Structure 1
Amino acid sequence: MNKERNQNFKKKKIDAESSYYYALSHEIRRKIIKIIGDNEFTSFTHLKKELNVSTGTIYHHLETLSDLIEQKQNKKYYLKELGTYAYNSLKDNIETIKAPQNEFKSSFLNKMMMITSKRFIMFHKKDRIYTVLISLGIIILGTIFSILNGFTSFFLFFIEFNS
């Protein structure tokens, strides 16, 4: 009995996960979730006005979203728990996707990027000479400072030598 209940739970979990990802796979369904989430509820008329698609298309997508939304007796559509999770996920993803585009709008961050190792890893053909020169400069400075401090380096290991 316990094994059967466990299998049913796993099946429901997989079904919920499948319907969640399937629901988010279409732009109109994502818009429906956003409209309901932004307003806490919505009517069919409001959806038709906002989405500007046919009645049949809206009904099709509402049926597909049946695990995420529900229509109550007042004929308004509300998000279920899974729908709320999907709405929050959509909001968070938009912020995450937009963040890298805004990452280096600051001139200070752009200047700092010039001296980080990421700059040297992601070089272009025209920057190869610059990268090689900077790398050689770092190696030479490291060698000079090691010798001045009484160390000798063997690859990345530093051995103290007595003179």
Structure 2
Amino acid sequence: MPEITHNRVFNHVAVSVTDVDATVAWYSKVFGFKLLGKITHIKRSEAPDGAIFSIYPENLNEVKLAYMATGNGVGFEIFEFIDPKPEPQESFAYHKTGFFHVCVTDPDPDALADKVVAEGGKRIGVTVNPAAKTAAGQPVKCLYTADPWGHVVEILDVSFEWLGCRTAY
């Protein structure tokens, strides 16, 4: 009998930022993500046996960390590496391998994109219809935005499972 592989769920996505407090405030206001607990500030000098210092290289000395929850329970971790300071990445580096965006679902992507822009983010490209029309005959809406720090967030008005079997890319 063939082995069955469990279809696992995403637990969380993590992002490195230069200001954890501002990022938590922005994602709370724009996307409604909820801060779980409080922002944690960890220093190797105060907690040398902290779990994080067993995971990251020995040159990590200080970090701030926040855990947020999305509307469907997927976590959004925010790291502010303080010592050493992180190096900025190229925004929307689609031409390089690795993760380059996350996606949220919203019934009105254009309105949410307007909110992203009003709160210091930006649009990337234009709204597109990547799939056949919905059962109600409406075009699917998809667009890309970036938060004020350059992290790319796609906004889609249907679930990924619905879109996955109907894409017209």
TM-score band by shorter chain is: under 0.3
* TM-score normalised by L of structure 2: 0.21
**Which has a greater percent of strand?**
2
